Structure 1
Amino acid sequence: MLPRFEVVRRLRPVDLVAPGAVQVEVATAGTVPMPVVAPYVGATTSSPAGPALHLAGHRFAASVRDGSVVLDVADGRTSRELRSRRFHRTVGPSATGLTLTGTHVTAWVREGSGWVARARHDLREVLDTRDEAALADLRVELPEGGGVAGRFGQLGLRDVRFVTTEDGRPLRDGRALWLTATSAGPGFFDTAHTSVWRLEGLGATHTADLFFRRPDRPGVFGDHATHLVRSGGSWLVATSTWGDFEKPASRAGRRTPAGLRVTLAESDADLLHGAHVLDTRELPLPNDGLRSIATWDPHLVRRDGEWLVGFVSARRFFDFHPALASGPSLDDLRLRGAATDRRSTEGTTLVEVDGRTVVLASDGRDSRRAHRGRFPVLDLAMADVDLLDAPYPTNLPWPSIAQVDDGWLMATFDGTPRGGRILGYGTHGDLVLMRAKGSAGSTLR
């Protein structure tokens, strides 16, 4: 089989404005049009006066006043100055930033440790930030001295997958590979979105962002936990509808379906570069007898004329396990197996090792003692057969592996937060790269 994986590099790109997606860069004050395809934008300036966004008759602005970070929310009739009770104070900031991620607007300052969020507000009761017509009319306002604005980048990366061909092989560009990842935003899952990265050597470059329309709701969503598959001359994009997911407000809601599911898009566009909004349809995943209230983490492979689809099924939030479906088409799938003995296992990934297709997954640290903090290897009936011999980072790292010229490469992530304490859970993590050289040893043991 394979030898042991070892960590060779950790990366943490943090960008309020993605370097390759700057739309406005000026040295003077002014308000300029900045049409966008999705509500994931950022603006930064060296001035404490801060940037502002104008959207659908509303103005949102960040500024620093006497060491206090203020978020102004105005609609032409009323104006509010919002400050965090605990986290509004800043000392010696060198820049001011403002982001819109989904329905959340956040005020930032760059301090010695990097960008720190000091105020945040949810706009769900204020306006529809996902409306495409309104987004096409977005304007950015920059103070004296100017600044930059464009698509939001990320605070961290998680849910890392290799972009593959139908048969599961990693898509290559010379010696480079491609990854999809969840670009973490300033808060929970509804502030994140899907991004695409070019992985060359041990460096990663952000090249694209993917956003989604739903079959049952208007607007553009930052859905994520995505698998991008090259199918013939086009793309299949399977993703999870995390873009508007909210944590259950009470224990009574833990077993209530929340609409979290898997969708599928098809496209002939160059999804490896630029920004794209994709129309989706439901990917019907069978959950016979699983008591499933939600599904996520799709992974697609076509072998011997049959589709295999790995996914996660939840009995409640958060009690979840890996499952596998198969069928002659993606619209005709049957449940093939499920590891129902798990309660905190996700990252279901199909891979071929020495001619044998196996299922990899990640047993989180909230699992039962026998299934805690490890990468199980399962057969196509979802029975345990081995363990992946690799370091297990914090949180719930996915076991994405690909065969490269001199051995095997693993791309995963950890739970390291970023951006300050006001943001809470969801800003992780570091991109963790591991290598296993050669082809002999005991990675699967």
Structure 2
Amino acid sequence: MIPPLALVHRFRPVQLVQHERRTGFRAPFVAVEAEVDPAAPQTVLEIRSGTTLLTVTHDVRRRRVHLDVHLPRRSRRIRSRRHGGLGAPAAGLALTLTGRWLTAWTRDAPDAPWTARGKVHVTDFVEVRDPAFLADLEVLEPQGALTSRSGTFGQVGLRDLHLVTYADGSPYVRDGRHHVTVTQAGPGFGDTAQTGVWSWDAGTDDLRPEALLWWRRDGLVQGDHAVHLVRDGEQWHVLASTWGDFDRTRVAITHTTTADDLLSGEHVLEGEELDLPRPPGRHVGVWDPHLVRIDGTWHLSWVAARKFFDFRPALGRAATPTGPWELVGVVEDRSATEGGVIVETDAGWRLLASDGPENPRGLRQRYPAFDLELNEVGALDAAYGTNIPWPSVVRLHAVPSVWAMLTFDGTEYGGPLPGYGTHGDVLVLRSDR
């Protein structure tokens, strides 16, 4: 089917500030970082919209970091007793707004990793996802800083890497580079992350950020992710999972069609929720879409969840990308399997997925392969890391058959405060090494 795949590269492109600017933000994903002036009594970084001021302060003498949310009739100071105290004055200070969360960061040296020192659910005070709030959003000049940078927030890790494809499942290549949608991790779970489009020199560790995508839903700009981007003629089909406002009650899949160039710049999209068939029994959500047209029929793989978090792969067929969808089946003997991709191999079309460590014994930490009737017909021979890495594979050469996989692991970032969701390292596997 696919030759054995071995790990050849591991790396982590951490970048708090991605596209530099002080104004003109289209989504609640903003970052400012500064080199602390050790001669100043304090360093202050501020993000403002109208009469709302979001602030992080580093008190050099007391070696403390705290956040402030200032509103016209209400203010709140947030100190973390456990994480806000420093052993020594910080060399770097940062403030990030990522969806619903405001986070303070420090680092010990210019090239050292960032550590989260304070975090607040800022939408308890002000709705930062409102387009009216975003229209006035700006980063103010830092106080007590030697140098600074500000702009759109980037990521502390990458996960959910999906190759951008044509409708027939073949990889989309521009200027000799493959393209990939990724979940750009923030300092926490789904509501701190966003979608990026990156270009990749396939099979290598050359992975570069190109574009950012957000969604306007329910009147708010959200950082949805776990996305598949499909080129169909002169337009894009964009399928996204609604993790941006996840509250442990529901996740859906939306579909967007656009002719805009989504491989560069920043875009706010609007999607329609797909009406997917519900498997028998309890059902709370769907995510991880992957769409391919095979012999004139659209095939969609997704994850169907019985509860959070008990989930398994599903497959459907339809005449159009928006349905109505016929349910082919659900893999009922799994409870932690996701990341499905539909790919053509020498053995025919296969739905590849990732069996996480929480599955039943014998179905853990492996990449199962299913045919288009959802019969399990084998498994990839490939290195399996931590978390639930997706099997995003691509054929590099036909003769001899050489394949590569671009995936991720569960390595977290930012210290103990952010919690689950800051993963992961990027992993590249190849079949010829």
Which TM-score applies when normalising by structure 1?
0.90
CA distance in 2 between partners of 1:56 and 1:260 (Å): 33
Secondary structure of the corresponding residue to residue 315 of structure 1: strand
Secondary structure of the corresponding residue to residue 437 of structure 1: coil
CA distance in 2 between partners of 1:279 and 1:389 (Å): 39
Give the one of 62, 71, 75 matched to 2:71.
Answer: 75
In structure 2, what residue type is equivalent to 1:379?
D
The aligned residue for residue 10 of structure 1 is 10
Any runs of at least 4 consecutive aligned residues in structure 1 with deviations exceeding 4 A, and if so which? none
Preserved contact between residue 172 and residue 178 of structure 2 (Cα < 8 Å): yes
The aligned residue for residue 299 of structure 1 is 290
Q: Is 1:289 the counterpart of 2:269 in the alignment? A: no
Deviation of 1:109 after TM superposition, in Å, equals 0.9
CA distance in 1 between partners of 2:282 and 2:78 (Å): 43
Deviation of 1:291 after TM superposition, in Å, equals 3.0
CA distance in 2 between partners of 1:310 and 1:2 (Å): 20
The aligned residue for residue 109 of structure 1 is 106
CA distance in 2 between partners of 1:59 and 1:267 (Å): 36
The aligned residue for residue 426 of structure 2 is 431
* Superposed CA offset, 1:144-179 (max 9, x none): 445211110001011110000001111112431111
Preserved contact between residue 60 and residue 73 of structure 1 (Cα < 8 Å): yes
CA distance in 1 between partners of 2:242 and 2:262 (Å): 19
Preserved contact between residue 2 and residue 346 of structure 2 (Cα < 8 Å): no
Preserved contact between residue 70 and residue 81 of structure 1 (Cα < 8 Å): yes
* Superposed CA offset, 1:119-166 (max 9, x none): 010012211111112101102112244521111000101111000000
Secondary structure of the corresponding residue to residue 319 of structure 2: strand
Could you list the runs of 5+ residues in structure 2 that have no partner in the other structure?
Answer: 37-41
Secondary structure of the corresponding residue to residue 393 of structure 1: coil
Give the one of 84, 90, 93 matched to 1:93.
Answer: 90
After superposition, residues 346-361 of structure 1 pair within 5 angstroms as 346-354=338-346, 356-361=348-353
Secondary structure of the corresponding residue to residue 357 of structure 1: strand
Could you list the runs of 5+ residues in structure 1 that have no partner in the other structure?
Answer: 25-33, 248-257, 439-445
In structure 1, what residue type is equivalent to 2:20?
V
CA distance in 2 between partners of 1:188 and 1:146 (Å): 30
Quickly say closer, same or farther: Cα 1:355–1:374, change in 2 above 3 A. closer
Count how many residue pairs are aligned between Structure 1 and Structure 2: 415
RMSD of equivalent CA atoms? 1.5
The aligned residue for residue 354 of structure 2 is 362
Give the one of 400, 416, 422 matched to 2:417.
Answer: 422
Secondary structure of the corresponding residue to residue 325 of structure 2: strand
* Percent identity of paired positions between Structure 1 and Structure 2: 42
Secondary structure of the corresponding residue to residue 386 of structure 2: coil
In structure 1, what residue type is equivalent to 2:359?
S
Preserved contact between residue 279 and residue 330 of structure 2 (Cα < 8 Å): no
CA distance in 1 between partners of 2:75 and 2:219 (Å): 28
The aligned residue for residue 335 of structure 1 is 327
CA distance in 1 between partners of 2:362 and 2:412 (Å): 27
CA distance in 1 between partners of 2:317 and 2:108 (Å): 51
In structure 2, what residue type is equivalent to 1:153?
G
Secondary structure of the corresponding residue to residue 202 of structure 1: coil
The aligned residue for residue 229 of structure 1 is 230
The aligned residue for residue 386 of structure 1 is 378
* Stretch moving more, 281-290 or 313-322: 281-290
* Superposed CA offset, 1:168-219 (max 9, x none): 11111243111111011011111001111111242111111100122xx111
Q: Is 1:22 the counterpart of 2:11 in the alignment? A: no
In structure 1, what residue type is equivalent to 2:65?
V
In structure 1, what residue type is equivalent to 2:184?
S
Which TM-score applies when normalising by structure 2?
0.93
CA distance in 1 between partners of 2:188 and 2:234 (Å): 37
Q: Is 1:40 the counterpart of 2:29 in the alignment? A: yes
